[in-house]
Structure 1
Amino acid sequence: MLAGLSTLAQLNAGALQGCTRLDLSCGLTEFPREIFALADSLKILNLSGNQLASLPDDLPRLRHLEVIFCSENRFTELPAILGQCPSLTMIGFKSNQIKHVADEVFPSHLRWLILTDNQLTELPSSIGRCQQLEKLMLAGNRLAALPDALAQCQQLALVRVAANQLTAFPECLLQLPRLAWLAIGGNPFNAALERNQMDDVASVNASDVTLGQKLGEGASGTIYQAQWHHSVPRDAAIKIFKGAVTSDGWPQTEMAVCRAAGEHPHLIGALAQLNGHAAGAGLIMPLISPEFSVLAAPPSLKTCIADVYASDLRFTWRAALLLAHGIADAARHLHQRGILHGDLYAHNILHHSDGRTYLGDFGAASFYSPDAAWAKALERIEVRAFGALLAELLTRIDWPDDHDDLRFDLMHWQKKCVDLAGDTQISFANLQQGLWRILHNH
């Protein structure tokens, strides 16, 4: 992947003919017309990190363009010309100053829309025409409500509306039969619950920790190995947040939820909040043994909502069932405390080949009142995410020839989790108990 001034020079010299992806981040103030020389091949255009405020009216000449990124620029409105691009399926305009989205801006094949960290106060009802939309990321805006027409986006599986100005839970979300991953924290309607938990967050000064090697990186932050110079020095992991708002919401929401989650054998909780570090705000967590590895990589541009597994990853039936049971029990624990994880995905799970497992990353998590009218619906949404995980595990199990009944039992639970009719009342308590019975009956 090429970037910067050298790439622009190559483009001007005609040396990039036939390329399918172009990355240009070099202080551009105008859209380079030379890009149109790639009209016969270009599929992914990344113009993030420039100073652009507009796109050309003839952008649809890039007829094969499927993905456009224009994050960290100077756009104040989402360019309406995007709606005329015939092949466009993904739009990413994170961290601009966008205040307005025109009715005609959405292309007919849109699957993934990223408008995180802008200044939107409303989303047009025309979003309802996006029948193929699967992923909608709107965290860090000023939305006071969502349009009822959003309920028409029946393929929507992931929604991020944390860190906005929502005064009530958007009930249109409850009409989305495939919704499985939802971030709603840091809004006025659940702010009181969040404030009550912030008082319990312990703080540690930067001088009390020493950062070590980088362990991993996600949407909201980077995780390092560290030494915590506590009363008894100990190894720890520290998550340093990337900014004041992430693709999932406010860091302070994650800190509060992580602490409120408490201890559980299958959760990576938090030990304390890190203050005053030069790298940014952080969260101190237990250090997990290197014997554990991430279950899968996050979704790609191609898969959109599905995690990417190593092609050679296989499980024994017992290891897969132990893993599934552990995650179901962790989720049961969270929902009993009024916590929606919001991102129950394989890429947030650490696992061992023998089935031991941990669920981590509370970046998309939020509090909810168990007494709310929509409380059971939130758990139902998360159960659907667990059903997607269970389906992924089922395809990677090496089944013994004489275990057809076991396979049938697991498939039965998986189908109940993702039942699109939505008429089952399955909970994580049901799942935990059901999977435990299967383990002990085989």
Structure 2
Amino acid sequence: MHTLEQLRSGALAGTRRLDLACGLTELPGEIFDLADTLEVLNLTGNRLRDLPHQLSQLHKLQVFFASDNDFEVLPEVLGDCPSLQVVGFKANRIAHVPPAALPPALRWLILTDNALSDLPTELGQRPALQKLMLAGNQLTQLPDSLQAAQKLELLRLSANRLTEVPAWLTELPRLSWLALAGNDMGWVCPAGSDLPSIAWPDLTHGPLLGEGASGHIYQVLATDWPHALALKLFKGAVTSDGLPEDELAGCLAAGQHPALTTPVARLTDHPTQAQGLLMPLIPAAHVNLAGPPSLQSCTRDVYPPGFKLSAALALGIARDVADALAHLHQRGVMHGDLYAHNILIDPVHGQARLGDFGAATRLPMEQPELRQSLLALEVRAMGCLLEELGAHSNQASDWDALVRACLSNTPSHRPAMTEIARALRLFCV
């Protein structure tokens, strides 16, 4: 994080990224001295309500974040920034998006946790749009113009007021990661499994293991439980994927599978009534298969430089994940976030486990055609994963035809996940 003193003294001259969180109510004029180099401007956590017209002087600006501020309208000056591709205004009070506020090169728009009831038609006229994050608003419908967003790959619509899925949505050729939970669709959804409960006072708390968008994960010991567990304690607020209660419902509907990280017990009697789930503790040897997408990659995970897998390990990961997804799909659950960064692998023994149900959607049991068309979107995400596994091993040529089928631009032509799992079991290393 930078300081105003650094900015005003000229110490940041030539910088490509500026991060300022210091109670700003207006932009310091010295920011415009960086016009010839500044590419990323992060003003999250201030008290801004508007932006000056001079913002367009930042002609190299590609990324602008202003989450946790006081905006009620998305500023129109954003649309005047010629190079701007990523716009993030999470957790403001935005109720209106003027068409002029949408930059012509827009790739990634984050308006999570605001007060939007509608969106402008012009949103569908941004041909580069790949990622659209709208969870936690008051949307009752989407503009039909979005059917022209042929590059849209990730869409977060959880915790809104949608009553139906637009017919064109499941025909988008590249849509792969979709979250719909927390809308009043009137669906009859799969029920969750019954789980035992463990009371908060019966836990002995160990170290913090990690933190995600929806909660913290701790190592714990439970009275009368034979081994250590992982406790996911939900934060209780809307996340980029949706609401904690929808994640919990998705976890419970998922049931048990050896390649899924799903709960074994519920938490009760927390002193602040926080919700929590207890899960098996993953052995320390497991590592994340990849890192999450970057600002540059937008929708694709990032692997370490020179990362390589043996053909046997790549195939083992693919088989485990396909089996886990086939299990979910048969239970009427769309994972919604099938990414390598949500897969833990044992690099020695080859076991893979899929976790993070924050974007999971329980699908309608009484509408088989709609359920099938939504699950076909996730098949494309599986195709992306197979493509990545192939690129980092010498497995690519062996399953090239399967990858092409999964990535078909016509969703109805893609194989079902059970077919993918069956095909992968037939491959030889």
Deviation, structure 1 residue 170: 2.8
- Give the equivalent residue in structure 2 for 1:403: none
- Give the equivalent residue in structure 2 for 1:30: 26
Q: Aligned with 2:228: secondary structure?
A: strand
- Deviation by residue 1:157-189 (Cα, 9 ceiling, x = unmatched): 000000100011233322310000001001000
Q: How many matched pairs?
A: 426
Q: Aligned with 2:23: secondary structure?
A: coil
- Give the equivalent residue in structure 2 for 1:161: 157
Contact 1:190 1:368 survives alignment (8 Å): no
**Match among 329, 336, 339 for residue 330 of structure 2:** 336
- Give the equivalent residue in structure 2 for 1:12: 8
- Counterparts in 2 of 1:232 and 1:216: CA distance versus 1, 3 Å: closer
Return the letter of the residue paired with 1:215.
Answer: L
- Structure 2 CA distance for aligned equivalents of residues 111 and 217 of structure 1: 27
Residues 1:414 and 2:403 are matched in the alignment: yes
Contact 1:240 1:279 survives alignment (8 Å): no
- Give the equivalent residue in structure 2 for 1:299: 293
Larger relative contact order (C-alpha < 8 A, sep ≥ 6)? Answer: 2
- Counterparts in 2 of 1:223 and 1:232: CA distance versus 1, 3 Å: closer
Q: Aligned with 1:49: secondary structure?
A: coil
Q: Aligned with 2:246: secondary structure?
A: helix
- Structure 2 CA distance for aligned equivalents of residues 414 and 65 of structure 1: 36
Deviation, structure 1 residue 425: 4.2
Return the letter of the residue paired with 1:363.
Answer: G
- Counterparts in 2 of 1:104 and 1:219: CA distance versus 1, 3 Å: same
Residues 1:257 and 2:253 are matched in the alignment: no
Contact 1:190 1:367 survives alignment (8 Å): no
Residues 1:236 and 2:214 are matched in the alignment: no
- Structure 2 CA distance for aligned equivalents of residues 201 and 60 of structure 1: 55
**Match among 43, 67, 70 for residue 74 of structure 1:** 70
- What runs of 5+ residues in structure 2 fail to find an aligned partner? none
- Structure 2 CA distance for aligned equivalents of residues 242 and 129 of structure 1: 36
Residues 1:375 and 2:371 are matched in the alignment: yes
- Deviation by residue 1:244-269 (Cα, 9 ceiling, x = unmatched): 21110010011111012111111000
- Give the equivalent residue in structure 2 for 1:429: 418
> After the TM superposition, which residues 31-110 of structure 1 pair with which residues of structure 2 at under 5 Å, given as runs?
31-110=27-106
Return the letter of the residue paired with 2:104.
Answer: S
- Deviation by residue 1:383-431 (Cα, 9 ceiling, x = unmatched): 10000000000011146xxxxxxx5441111111001133524101101
- What runs of 5+ residues in structure 1 fail to find an aligned partner? 400-406
Residues 1:205 and 2:199 are matched in the alignment: yes
Residues 1:129 and 2:125 are matched in the alignment: yes
Q: Aligned with 1:234: secondary structure?
A: coil
Q: Aligned with 2:221: secondary structure?
A: strand
- Structure 2 CA distance for aligned equivalents of residues 174 and 383 of structure 1: 12
- Counterparts in 2 of 1:318 and 1:370: CA distance versus 1, 3 Å: farther
Contact 1:255 1:273 survives alignment (8 Å): no
Residues 1:193 and 2:186 are matched in the alignment: no
- Give the equivalent residue in structure 2 for 1:404: none
- Counterparts in 2 of 1:273 and 1:53: CA distance versus 1, 3 Å: farther
Q: Structure 2 length as normaliser, TM-score?
A: 0.95
Q: Aligned with 1:193: secondary structure?
A: coil
- Structure 2 CA distance for aligned equivalents of residues 270 and 12 of structure 1: 51
Deviation, structure 1 residue 32: 1.4
Return the letter of the residue paired with 1:305.
Answer: T
Contact 2:17 2:41 survives alignment (8 Å): yes
**Match among 312, 325, 341 for residue 347 of structure 1:** 341
- Counterparts in 2 of 1:180 and 1:51: CA distance versus 1, 3 Å: same
Deviation, structure 1 residue 148: 0.6
Deviation, structure 1 residue 115: 0.3
- Structure 2 CA distance for aligned equivalents of residues 365 and 422 of structure 1: 20
Residues 1:274 and 2:267 are matched in the alignment: yes
Residues 1:359 and 2:354 are matched in the alignment: yes
- Give the equivalent residue in structure 2 for 1:384: 380
Deviation, structure 1 residue 190: 5.2
Q: Structure 1 length as normaliser, TM-score?
A: 0.92
Q: Aligned with 2:92: secondary structure?
A: coil
Contact 2:232 2:277 survives alignment (8 Å): yes
Deviation, structure 1 residue 228: 2.4
- Deviation by residue 1:270-302 (Cα, 9 ceiling, x = unmatched): 123335256953322111111111100100111
- Structure 1 CA distance for aligned equivalents of residues 319 and 142 of structure 2: 35
Return the letter of the residue paired with 1:15.
Answer: A
- Structure 2 CA distance for aligned equivalents of residues 388 and 21 of structure 1: 30
- Structure 2 CA distance for aligned equivalents of residues 79 and 260 of structure 1: 41
Contact 1:314 1:398 survives alignment (8 Å): no
Return the letter of the residue paired with 2:356.
Answer: D
- Structure 2 CA distance for aligned equivalents of residues 248 and 142 of structure 1: 15
Q: Aligned with 1:189: secondary structure?
A: coil
Deviates more, 1:28-37 or 1:421-430: 421-430
Deviates more, 1:296-305 or 1:219-228: 219-228
Deviation, structure 1 residue 57: 1.4
Deviates more, 1:315-324 or 1:219-228: 219-228
